[in-house]
A and B are shown apart, each in its own frame.
Chain A
């Protein structure tokens, strides 16, 4: 017993290790198969979702390019609310840019950053705004979500001069946009973020509404 014990302990350990390795290999195999099967669907689903999201923001303007691939990188921590570069999508009709969809962040939401997509046409008018990600309080702050209330449509058709810049505030701060009962912070930061995007688009108008990329070429400058 004494003489065999170290040997048998080693054998036990090796056997345990082998069993574990086989189990891990089987598990990885299973996940790999499911991954193979699911990935094409997931890619389709995500693409369809993003197209639907972008289309919803810009309302029903006609366009003929693929905004998902016609992108330009935008970066302005102050106006767009993110230290990281963000993506803006160009919307074209007949090669001419008619609108730009800017991803932006309201970094100071009540419960963390709120991500937005803002659609601006070539005249600097808002086509639409949508909140794409937030963690605001249900029934209070989450009224910024289009599915919850139509508050977000209050931006449709507005621009930097309408209302005047000084009135790009919630009513409580002396502006033209409604706040919610019990939730002022959330609408306040959204109004500020949308105004930031409009200012950014005004400053970078030529570069955002630039010429069409060469056919087949990359969409980014």
Chain B
């Protein structure tokens, strides 16, 4: 597969959050603010790159029987390392992501990319795929995080200093008082509604394009 196709799949056509609907649990739970979304998105991106790297390097040499088990161990080690590092250097973010940080281990996106793509591809493709899929997930998180924070809290980027350091304290904009915000947007049901709207938008776009091109194309691949 060429680089363009890999990037296009990860970011758009098979975006893990918005098309494949993988990792919905953290996607919906953590995307209540831009800062949280960015933190979890970057952590997932990092883990995905590491696990794809290891899968591409070691995959061909692993006995079939234990290949999945080895990937799970690698992913668990990578996530645990990320979690420890975050607790040490980004404690505020570590607190606000809570249980969803260690739960990256169970994000089927990470295991799926390692097993079904990276272990069968050359290193460069696997790395690119990790970046593309991770960025696709990050974009989905940021999209939901931006809209939910705007609607629910009336702000954007509040709490980013947890990620960027104390010198950014007070960063972010408060557009209107939180008490006027739409509470639903901050709660899980609101996240589902919003995700549904985003999916509808994506399908509408794809359908319109299909209509123009008048050619059958797999658009809504809701595998897994």
Contacts and interface: CB of A to CB of B under 8 A. Distances in A.
A211 interface: no
Interface string B43-82: 0000000000000000000110110011001101110110
A45 B91 contact: yes
B84 A35 contact: yes
Contacts of B84: 31, 34-35, 38, 42
B173 interface: no
Interface string A14-30: 01110110011011101
- Residue of B62, B73, B152 with highest tally of chain A CB at under 10 A: B73
B183 interface: yes
B183 to A, nearest CB: 5
A51 to B, nearest CB: 14
Nearest to B82: A34
The binding surface of chain A is classed by DSSP as helix
Interface in B82-104: 84-85, 87-89, 91
Contact of A27 (B66, B74, B181, B183): B74
Given A31-B80, A139-B181, A12 B63 contact: yes
B187 A138 contact: yes
A45 B181 CA distance: 33
A15 B63 contact: yes
A148 B66 CA distance: 50
Contacts of A30: 77-78, 81
A138 B186 contact: yes
29 contacts: A12-B65, A13-B65, A16-B63, A19-B62, A19-B63, A19-B66, A20-B69, A23-B66, A23-B73, A27-B77, A30-B77, A30-B78, A30-B81, A31-B77, A31-B84, A34-B80, A34-B81, A34-B84, A37-B88, A38-B84, A38-B87, A38-B89, A39-B88, A45-B87, A137-B183, A137-B187, A138-B186, A138-B187, A139-B179
The 4 A-B pairs of least Cβ separation, nearest first, read A27-B77, A41-B88, A38-B88, A34-B81
